Homo-oligomer: A and B are copies of this chain.
């Protein structure tokens, strides 16, 4: 094991679209582990569109600054511990960043007990799965027989939202960005229909796919897609505000959904934003349900894995362009 550490350092703040030049891959000596801390080998790095949003300013976390190691949720293995809570060999999750080794406070780590492949804990059994589960069923209050529409349908959260909605007895329509994804959603994931937001006839196609209106719109993208869906909602429909991917890769996001608040009043619509952490007390319930569907084969896991730490910037840029299918992540190393 080398005594050096590679880390992706934020070299410049993006003013428009994110590019590789905004990151530097820096190699330095691994730091010492101070008393009370832990050093982890990074194994898997989660790549999420929201990471681009962290450049836009403080949100539920502080804004990214030049010089920072690019932050990211990850799976790691403890290789040195100077605290009582963790021992070398432990598999953990936490914000370890885009790097080979991270020295962290043990309070920021969670021990991972796993039966399935580690990668699943960044997808269906991780933040993504919990977001889809609680977002659809609790925030969105989806009921059997209702029409559920999800945008970013071929992405990490969207693939799970659509499948869970089908398992729940809903009619499911996916919104995605290519004919290939449309076909894949209906033929492989069991969606009832899929429409392409890049098509000129998108608005019409969405309405035709939802003849009774949209009961639950699970929104991962915001922007024009949200505006269009708002125009197709059913009376007492619910909009689950989960992400705004269309507005992340810019320094001048469009702020404001057309028709809000007027259309909400006319159709008695609820729009509700959430973070998966709102459901911290119910994580076990969510994980148990997801695990059950995995065990009986009713949920297809879609992971989009890039090999090697050096792929992190292009991995994120790709997610912002919609080039991924399912949950994107970086495989950095295997546990010892």
Contact = CB atoms under 8 A, between A and B. Distances in A.
Nearest to A58: B266
A129 interface: no
Interface residues of A, number: 35
A91 interface: no
Contact of A256 (B256, B271, B278): B256
Contact of A263 (B263, B267, B268, B273): B273
Contacts of A268: 272-275, 278
A185 B59 CA distance: 35
Nearest to A239: B261
A46 B4 CA distance: 77
Contacts of A226: 261
A265 B278 contact: no
Given A60-B266, A267-B273, A272-B269, A259 B261 contact: no
B253 A265 contact: no
A255 interface: yes
A175 interface: no
Contacts of A194: none
A265 B59 CA distance: 9
Given A256-B257, A272-B269, A262 B247 contact: yes
Contact of A261 (B60, B241, B263, B265): B241
Given A244-B265, A268-B272, 7 more contacts: A226-B261, A236-B278, A241-B264, A261-B273, A265-B273, A266-B275, A270-B273
